Structure 1
Amino acid sequence: MNPDFAEMDIRSLRAYVLNNRNDNEAFYVLADRLKASSVSSTVYPCPDTPENLAIMEQAIQEKLGQSIQKKITPQ
């Protein structure tokens, strides 16, 4: 008898799936839950043109510069 997957949190469900790798029902319930929980996340496209790649590199350098500046500047 399978546990009630609807009552399990994602962490418990993930642990169950890892211990019961042949339980397809549990796997699909976990996949549905993970997909539903990621709806609000932002997905950025892969930089596929030289212009987009340059923009991404500049943004990363700016972010790294901000991060380093925060570490150097005492609060």
Structure 2
Amino acid sequence: MLITRDILNKALEDKVPLFHDGDYIDDDVMYDLFYALPIFKDLPNGKKALRTLISKSDRNILCAELKGRISKNPKETYDKIY
């Protein structure tokens, strides 16, 4: 199945893994996940800071199946994607 930006946004909203066997990634989704430059976002203290488009914790959830590990335990760490 082709992973589109709509599918990416739904996975982010539902906090579920994005990939399954046989999926392939649309170019804009690949860019958003792995190549997008940091952007300025507001912090809770009112300051601005550079942040990635998709947070590391969200990326861990989205890419859990690529790394062969899915867990309901939020304390579990994941392997890096190469």
TM-score after normalising by structure 2:
0.25
Structure (1 or 2) with the greater helix fraction: 1
Q: Which of the pair has more CA radius of gyration?
A: 1
- Higher strand fraction (1 or 2): 2
Question: Normalised by the size of structure 1, how large is the TM-score?
Answer: 0.26
